[in-house]
Structure 1
């Protein structure tokens, strides 16, 4: 006895899960009908490349904020803010499509990140990571004793919390 074929779920959500690459898209279909709206869940702004300890301390400040990270793509540094557009609807469509901002109007699906996996050689999520990177470039900012070196911008590192 043969096993009955499973029926494909025709719902948009199920179709979105099946479509993984642009070439899997049915002829004439709109890519946005199959997307999780990655482009509406963040924004990234180019920032000046840090070249001094002071510059790296500014990057550290960015990373002290919730839902912020920094990455480098093709030698350009970016501040990435993980936040969802307040007009994104549950179906991953724009709630203000007719009056959306110009940046959204100019954005096309021709080169959108539908298939991107966002792997970057330099990606920083925590202030400690950017400190370690700066230490690798400039040498440690603090001595083993925890005392600040003369060129440091900040006070000594805080001691750990006592164990209770």
Structure 2
């Protein structure tokens, strides 16, 4: 399956390599839902491949696609709790190490 460039995979899951919390838009996702660091993106992003989940969560808006993704994995409440977090550590209530 080919990627539809919908952006859901850059919002819904957490991405440890980018310190991106669950349900929070990646800071590298452009307004056009394309990666602004595509050529230097982390390996986890390079390895991601579109699959049947992408078809199951298809919806008119990014918000709807992300909500469907999170619902699929039972993570909607956790993602809502992360809404104001700027990092995975903050989202998990862990101390920020300096």
Name the TM-score, length of structure 2 as normaliser.
0.46
The structure in which a higher percent of residues are strand is: 1
Q: What TM-score do you get using the length of structure 1 for normalisation?
A: 0.30
More helix by share: 2
